[in-house]
Structure 1
Amino acid sequence: MSYTLSYHVHHNHTPDRPVTVQATPEQVQSLVDNGYLVIERLFTGEALERLREAILEVAAQEGHVARSGREWGGVFLRHLMEKHPAFLELFRLEPCLSIARATLGPQVQVLPMTGRIAWPDEQGQATPWHLHQRVVPSPRPAFFCLPHVIDALIYLDDLDEASGPVCVVPGSHRWEDREFPGGPHDDIEGQVALSVPAGSVVMIHGNLWHRGLPTTPQGTIRRLLILPYTHPWIQLPTFGDRPQNGLMRPLFESPDQETRELLGIPEGIY
């Protein structure tokens, strides 16, 4: 199911921007209202296996092994599109890109992709309650621009009670000044534990309260890709160093306006 949004950007000589949204209006509204949207089995078969193998290849090349016994355990891999062609193929990932344009506007930037690997029953691999983009001062200035990022969480393995589901608090992306109650791993009233099959995507607003439950001996390896979208005028995050001669280098030299916009290059935006 899909529908078309017809955007007009009020800027000199800017053409209209139609967007074919690969979701229903109700699904997009659910993301807006609740802060998350589940897309089941976006990747299957060979496409899913290719991503599974690719993240392990990058981890092996960088010398990563299972780590435990600390907060935020597991392995984090940065700038994946620069490091393996399987990830570069997700630069224009539909339907995620179209849903990002439906919620952020027609001009969207694709931020660097991160990967995370967690292993069964390794200690410290649960993630505490956190959010990604809340930098709202109190009191809020009159012209302060709320930060908006839509993260596509791509789960390459089954997410269930054994491997550790992800917990979210619906609607919390709208809370500008609340603090997490209790401890970093305590249950929160209204939380929802999401279990999804391998190859599924959970799209979340970056300010949604969420956490990952711990892995167990009965679970399997848990491989996750995080693909963020934001406005193209937002500053890039500083996680890790972008490889100077990575796979994305030809994209930065492309004359294509949409490509440059997706990279956040100013002349591509305007």
Structure 2
Amino acid sequence: MNYIKKIASKFWEDGYVILESFFDSELMDNYNSKILDHYGVNPNWEHNNEFISKSAVEVIPWFPYREGKPYFDEIDKHKVFNDITNEILQDNWENLYCMMMFSKAGSKGQAWHQDCPPENPLKYNLNRLVYTHDITDETGGEIVIMPEAHKAGILPVGKPHEDIEGQIVYKPKKGTVIFLHGHCFHRVMPVKKDRISSNFRAVPQGTPEDITDICVYRNMRYKFSTEEVIEERI
């Protein structure tokens, strides 16, 4: 229990915590194959061209549980995974959704963003990122995080992928889990080879189900449900 409390304390200090070798290699290989089977050789983009051009985001999501495909229960129901979540979010937190993310070789990755508007510090999501294969120099797609940005308010206006002083760049290995606050600034670097990550998103009790419908980028706020830019940030 002290171990879990230390993880939660580190999370609230930095806005994220990285746990290497959390899931075993065999499970990750199994899940990686299932995800690749879903996407096939040449999956189609889910977003419209305006979003892709303005956000510098090229990620194809898949929500297996919404399709009645509970393929990933060994993560979703993992006791320690959920005990850590409970210590971070406290009692009666809720699963938001499970999202697989695929980036094609040669794509832009993801620009700096906050998963939900940061104006209310009590309204946020928790990303629980799981990596089913190694992210390396050869694959690209490193995750970039701004430490303590969950306490910094809104992401500053600027170029979508431009470096921010103080950022950390991390290459997760297979089996790594990253717990990441939804208000924390983060991005994914350009992708050289096909890249997969998965996100078992959770929220504190009472958080609206559409908490991640509006995403904050350095140049806009975007509403996914209506596929529109609701604020230009210049």
Superposition TM-score, scaled by structure 1 size: 0.67
Counterpart CA distance in 2 for 1:76 and 1:168 is: 21
Q: Indicate the residue corresponding to 2:197 in structure 1.
A: 224
Query: Which residue number in structure 2 is paired with residue 113 of structure 1?
Result: 98
State the Cα deviation string for residues 181-230 of structure 1 (Å, max 9, x = none). Answer: 431100001000011211211110111100000112xxx43111111111
Partner Cα separation in structure 1 for residue 130 and residue 89 of structure 2: 20
Q: Out of 43, 48, 53, which is 1:64 matched to?
A: 43
- The answer for the alignment partner of 2:26 in structure 1 is 46
Structural mapping, 1:5-154, within 5 Å: 23-60=3-40, 64-65=43-44, 70=53, 71-80=56-65, 82-120=67-105, 122-123=106-107, 125-136=108-119, 146-154=122-130
Distance, in Å, in 2 between the alignment partners of 1:103 and 1:49 is 28
Deviation at 1:66, TM superposition (A): 7.5
TM-aligned CA deviation for residue 112 of structure 1: 1.0
- Contact residue 73 and residue 126 of structure 1 kept, 8 A: yes
Distance 1:80 1:41, change over 3 A: farther
2:146 and 2:167 in contact (8 A); partners too: yes
**Cα drift, residue 24 of structure 1:** 4.0
Using the alignment, how far apart are the partners of 1:158 and 1:109 within structure 2? 29
Residue 58 of structure 1 deviates from its aligned partner by 2.5
2:148 is aligned, of 161, 171, 187, to 171
Normalising by structure 2, we get a TM-score of 0.77
- Secondary structure, in 3 states, of the residue corresponding to 2:162? coil
Count of residue pairs brought into register by the alignment? 206
1:49 is displaced (CA, Å) by: 1.4
Ranges in structure 2 where 5+ consecutive residues have no aligned partner: 214-234
Describe the superposition over 1:158-182 as per-residue Cα deviations: whole angstroms up to 9, x where unpaired: 1233322100000000122x44243
Unmatched tracts of structure 1, length 5 or more: 4-22, 137-143, 241-270
Could you report, residue by residue, the CA deviation over 1:130-169 in whole angstroms, capped at 9, with x for unpaired residues? 0112252xxxxxxx67213221011112123332210000
Contact kept? 1:104, 1:148, Cα under 8 Å: no
**Larger RCO (CA within 8 A; separation ≥ 6):** 2
How far apart in 1 are the matches of 2:145 and 2:211? 25
Counterpart of 1:236 (choices 209, 213, 224) is: 209
Read off the aligned partner of 1:31 and give its amino acid letter: F
For the aligned residue pairs, the C-alpha RMSD in angstroms reads 2.8
AA aligned to 1:207 is H
Larger deviation, residues 43-52 vs 85-94: 85-94
Q: What SS does the aligned partner of 2:179 have?
A: strand
Structure 2 counterpart of 1:194, from 153, 167, 170: 170
- Percent identity at matched positions? 19
Rounded Cα–Cα distance in structure 1 between residues aligned with 2:64 and 2:211: 11
